[in-house]
């Protein structure tokens, strides 16, 4: 029994230096306190009872370490989101040739180029400091802003990000499709939109994707195909009802689809009747 107690005690001793220099002992204050309490309570137990107490002490230390980790992780995540938010704020700052009015605290840039350069610098700082989803989001914003400075480089960065899973991969593919359409590479853009539409749980609305696809069909002279897409966006939206069986207002995308349909096929657009707004006083 004494031998077993000695083995247990040795397992919980703190390491000491083995050089000829004066010995220094590393002692964790929390662990030392836990061990002291275990020793005090352990005097009341023999054999397995004391081993159980040591096991409980180990669990207590582990629980504290896990708590510290998650607390640190929350602080780290908050810092990452704050840094990302500030960079996004820069990317959306006002662009004006005139100096900001006196007392203005918001950022302002003379040109979009200056704003993009400043935003990329801030997003890159986020990439350098953080990892995971925050890093990927920052890379996405860098690529989008890069399009305004070096379009080819921005497109290459977006192409690389389309291989990412989840939100960033989807948003990057959408931005890439828009860039391809802007460059006149319409077939490539349609292919990207079709890939996004085929996703089982898309982050972007299928109405938004189909609307963008219809816009390309119009540019290609495929009026009937575009009309079909606009109709299939606006018609169901005009007939939609909520859980209370009352008409649901059409979304902005659905109304825009109806407007586009009126331009290319007015007769078909007449089939779409937007629900009348409900009176604030109730009744008909």
Instruction: Express each pLDDT in 72-82 by its tens digit.
Output: 556 667 888 88
**One pLDDT digit (tens) per residue for the chain, 284 residues:** 444 444 444 443 444 444 444 444 434 443 444 445 445 544 444 444 545 444 555 555 555 555 554 555 566 678 888 898 999 999 988 998 887 777 677 788 999 999 999 999 999 999 999 988 889 999 999 999 999 999 999 999 999 999 988 889 999 999 999 999 999 999 999 999 999 999 987 688 999 999 999 999 999 999 999 999 999 999 999 989 888 888 888 999 999 999 999 999 999 999 998 877 665 555 44
**Sign of CA pseudo-dihedral 129, 132, 133, 135:** positive
Helix axes 132-146, 112-129, angle to 10 degrees: 160
Write out the E strands in 78-192.
94-95, 108-109
Contact 94, 108 (CB under 8 A): yes
DSSP state of 28: -
- How many angstroms separate the first and last alpha carbons of the chain? 89
- What's phi and psi for 241, nearest 5 deg? -130, 150
**Sign of CA pseudo-dihedral 138, 142, 144, 145:** positive
Q: What is the tens place of the pLDDT at every residue in 111-145?
A: 999 999 999 999 999 999 998 888 999 999 999 99
Q: From CA 262, how far away is CA 256, in angstroms rounded?
A: 10
The tokens of 196 are what?
Answer: 């996004």
Q: From CA 125, how far away is CA 128, in angstroms rounded?
A: 5
Q: Under the phi-then-psi rule, with left for phi > 0, alpha for psi from -120 to 50, and beta for the rest, what region is 117?
A: alpha
The tokens of 268 are what?
Answer: 């078909």
The tokens of 257 are what?
Answer: 């689809």
**C-alpha angle 275-279-283 in degrees, rounded to nearest 5:** 100
């Amino acid at each position: 029994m004494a031998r077993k107690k000695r083995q247990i005690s040795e397992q919980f001793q703190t390491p000491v230096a083995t050089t000829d220099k004066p010995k220094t002992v590393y002692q964790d204050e929390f662990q030392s306190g836990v061990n002291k309490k275990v020793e005090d309570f352990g005097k009341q137990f023999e054999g397995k009872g004391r081993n159980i107490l040591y096991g409980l002490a180990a669990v207590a230390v582990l629980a504290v370490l896990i708590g510290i980790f998650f607390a640190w992780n929350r602080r780290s995540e908050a810092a990452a989101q704050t840094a990302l938010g500030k960079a996004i704020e820069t990317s959306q700052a006002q662009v004006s040739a005139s100096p900001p009015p006196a007392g203005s605290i918001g950022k302002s840039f003379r040109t979009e180029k200056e704003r993009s350069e400043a935003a990329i610098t801030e997003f890159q700082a986020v990439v350098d400091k953080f990892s995971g989803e925050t890093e990927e989001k920052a890379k996405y914003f860098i690529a989008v802003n890069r399009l305004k400075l070096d379009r080819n480089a921005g497109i290459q960065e977006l192409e690389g990000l389309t291989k990412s899973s989840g939100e960033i991969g989807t948003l990057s593919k959408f931005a890439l499709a828009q860039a391809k359409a802007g460059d006149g590479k319409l077939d490539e853009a349609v292919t990207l939109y079709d890939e996004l539409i085929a996703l089982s749980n898309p982050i972007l609305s299928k109405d938004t994707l189909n609307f963008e696809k219809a816009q390309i069909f119009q540019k290609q002279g495929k009026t009937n195909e575009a009309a079909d897409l606009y109709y299939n966006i606006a018609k169901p939206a005009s007939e939609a009802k909520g859980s209370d069986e009352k008409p649901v207002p059409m979304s902005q995308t659905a109304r825009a689809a109806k407007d586009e349909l009126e331009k290319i096929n007015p007769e078909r657009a007449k089939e779409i009747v937007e629900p009348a707004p409900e009176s604030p006083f109730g009744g008909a």
